[in-house]
Chains A and B, each alone.
Chain A
Amino acid sequence: MAVISRGFEGRRTPPDPRIPPGQYLTEDFPVLSAGPTPQIETSDWALDITDVDGSRTALSWHQLMDLPSEQFTVDIHCVTKWTKLGTVWRGVPVETLLGGTQSDAEYALIHSYGGYTTNLPIDDLVLGDAWVVFEYDGAALAPTHGGPARLLVPHLYLWKSAKWINGIELRRHDQPGFWESLGYHAYGDPWREQRYEGD
């Protein structure tokens, strides 16, 4: 039986329909990473999009900036249990980025500078709730939070929102990414608390 520490309250969060099960509210923005912060100049930045037929296009920063972007506000949920409400971003919807591809892809594997990967079903990228973002809270996205650009998919746990995105690999078959291959859930819906494989 655990020893109770008198007066220790932990991170008690009042019930709130905006907070998924098992999460607590945070006011700060924790920086969690699997590796060192890459320092990428926008002049060197490129986003490689590869399709199931092997075709490849590379988007430069200049080209990204030329695409229509939008400012939007969303809640974000990390599998380590913190939730941050009302975060403001600016980015390009992924469906706009992928507009040029003719594809029978069912899945995508996202690649980042530094080697991180994560996988998603294609619908979760193209049906409106996913962006490649480059501004947070009205300013250029800081490297520690994934800048110059990161993926943002707020309806899934934040490990799917790959920082330092540099590639979208469209695939017919699902390929587990960095955490999905080591015990984490393939999909990661915070509202069904899909943290681990088998949840």
Chain B
Amino acid sequence: MKATDDAQHRGPATIPWLRAELLEGRMETRTARSLVFDVPGWAGHHAGQHVDVKLTSEDGYSAQRSYSIASASASGQLELTVQVVSHGELSPYLVEVMSPGDELELRGPIGGWFRWTEEFTEPVLLVGGGSGIVPLMAILRERIRTGSTAPVHFICVARTPDHVFYTNELHSVDQSHADVLVDRLYTRSGLADDARAAGRLNLHDLPPPSSGDTGITRAYVCGPTGFVESAADLLLGRGHPPTAIRTERFGPTGG
């Protein structure tokens, strides 16, 4: 079967490329950077969705990658958090070169399956490994922006405390919202006074399914492929029904 890429046959639902200008960049860790873009024509998104980003050089070479949206929904603006990947096509530019005023193209929002909106009122479990916490942070930020009262349990798994994105914001949200619990788990080495020994995510790190009225926790798992597969298996082992678990795999490097 062969479909020709002919403009006449392209439906109105085709997602257009939009021009985006970098407003601000700030480092989350030594190798990851959050980028805030002004995007005229951007109508907002559902937390969990992603965009395709395209860079074009002056000699016409272009490259494209997907990045999860880190921010809550807003019109005209969005934020990405990018982890440098060695030999990466886009990430070295986005993290180390791009400056306010520079532009790129993006299209989206993409993905209707891995998303959260305020219409979902049941308790939410977020399990993120490495840069997998980006779309989950969007979910947390959207939950706060909308005033949703859905309880959120956010489990961030990273190698060391220096590898965690959004540290200050996560700490402040955890302290100021009664129904939001943030656990930061370290796989390689943690803080001196940590009760939990550093190591991979295990069954004891995960809560059982909610015992509330609905009995179902909506769980979102994101990160490197290996992490997602083992975390999803652990959730099943903990009793969460498969239909409650949504996953997004970032590939071997998770970047």
Question: Which residues on A are within 8 Å of B, measured CB to CB?
Answer: 2-12, 26-28, 183
Contact = CB atoms under 8 A, between A and B. Distances in A.
Nearest to A183: B2
Nearest to A11: B61
Contacts of B55: 5, 8, 10
Interface in B38-73: 54-63
A5 B98 contact: yes
The residue in A3, A6, A12, A28 that gathers the most chain B C-beta atoms within 10 A of its C-beta is A3
Contacts of B87: 26-28
Given A8-B97, A10-B63, A28-B87, A3 B57 contact: no
Interface in B74-122: 87, 89, 93, 97-99, 102-105
Contacts of A12: 57, 59, 61
A6 B98 CA distance: 8
A6 B102 CA distance: 6
Identify the interface centre among A7, A8, A12: most chain B CB within 10 Å of its CB. Answer: A8
A4 B58 contact: yes
Given A2-B105, A5-B57, A6-B102, 13 more contacts: A3-B104, A4-B58, A5-B55, A5-B98, A6-B103, A7-B93, A7-B98, A8-B93, A10-B57, A10-B63, A10-B89, A12-B57, A12-B59
Tell me what chain A mostly uses at the interface: helix, strand, loop, or mixed: loop
B56 A4 contact: yes
Lowest 10 CB-CB distances: which A-B pairs, in order?
A: A10-B61, A2-B56, A5-B55, A10-B57, A8-B55, A7-B97, A3-B105, A6-B102, A5-B104, A8-B57
Interface in B190-246: none
Given A2-B56, A28-B87, A7 B61 contact: no
Nearest to B19: A3
Contacts of B2: 183
B56 A3 contact: yes
A15 to B, nearest CB: 13
Contacts of A10: 55, 57, 59, 61-63, 89
Q: With a 10 A CB-CB cut-off, give which of A6, A11, A12, A27 has the most chain B CB atoms.
A: A6
Contact of A5 (B59, B60, B89, B93): B93
Contacts of B99: 6-7
Contacts of A8: 55-57, 93, 97
Given A2-B56, A28-B87, A7 B62 contact: no
Contact of B102 (A7, A26, A183): A7
Contacts of A4: 56-58, 103
A5 B61 contact: no
Contacts of A28: 87
A10 B2 CA distance: 31
A17 to B, nearest CB: 20
Nearest to B63: A10
